[in-house]
Amino acid sequence: MKAIILAAGMGSRLGTLTNDKPKCMLKLFNETLIERQTKIFHSCNINDITIVTGYMSEVIDIPDVNYVKNKNYETTNINESFFCALEPSSNPVLVTYGDIVYEQKIIQQMLEITDGIGLAINLNWKKYYQNRKNHPLSEVENVLVENGRILQIRKNISKSLEKQQIGEFLGIMMLSSEHVKILLERYSYLKKNHMGTFHNSSSLSNAYITDMLQEIINCGINVNPIFTKGKWCEIDTPEDLKNAEKSINKFQS
């Protein structure tokens, strides 16, 4: 099992908190966000860990991991960082955003997925935004689910039919080795042939992972929701950090 943590971003919405560090190096009590993730991975016997760096990469110093730098982090987005690290694999690959905090049982649940593409999804997501005044619902990475399949993935999905569900993508996904190959082949094709806007982004180089996942869905590949039961939070603003500090004792690792 291999894990990739995407941690190239600056975290500009955190203001002065990221003047001297990337946001994955922010601390909750005495543990950085990225230390917490690697600790959980090791507890789950995931020891092949790659961290994708970018902004202030020299500050990230975690032992016993591999590093890949997105040298174009200033002009590209998270999808580009993802493909900086993704390579053919004979084993499943777990991918996480670097700015999230979660219970270990979410990872344990994801490890049960051995086929296809599985995304960690929370259906009870709106409660996490009751105390996030600086992170509006329009910024949520939503999924539209029907009959156990994800039909759409993008920000701000607000309408659904009777048999459909709207959830939030938590920034955690599992890829089978076969689907790693599918993603690499599609991305290679797009790099050579695609021009202009890419789904909900201005270009392929500025795309989010959600744009790439929608591309795969549109190609007829199943992307499956994994409805998680553990606690989770995202650190995107100073308000998020304060909220996480209040609830961190509720998390288990």
Ordered domains of the chain (ranges, CATH): 2-250 (3.90.550.10)
Q: What is the pLDDT of residues 64-114, one digit of tens each?
A: 999 999 999 999 999 999 999 999 999 999 999 999 999 999 999 999 988
Q: Residue 60 in contact with residue 51, Cβ under 8 Å? A: yes
Cβ neighbours of 132 (radius 10 Å): 18
Predicted confidence at residue 247, as pLDDT, reads 77
Task: Give Cα separations from 238 to 11, 168, 246 (angstroms).
Answer: 10, 21, 13
State both tokens at 244.
């996480």
Predicted confidence at residue 127, as pLDDT, reads 85
Strands (E), the chain: 2-6, 27-28, 31-32, 48-53, 66-69, 93-97, 100-102, 117-122, 141-146, 149-155, 164-175, 223-227, 232-234
> What residues in the chain have per-residue pLDDT under 50?
252-253
Percent of the chain with pLDDT over 70: 98
Picking from 93, 77, 79, 53, the residue whose alpha carbon sits closest to that of residue 181 is 93
- pTM, whole model, 2 decimals? 0.95
CA distance 131 to 237: 12
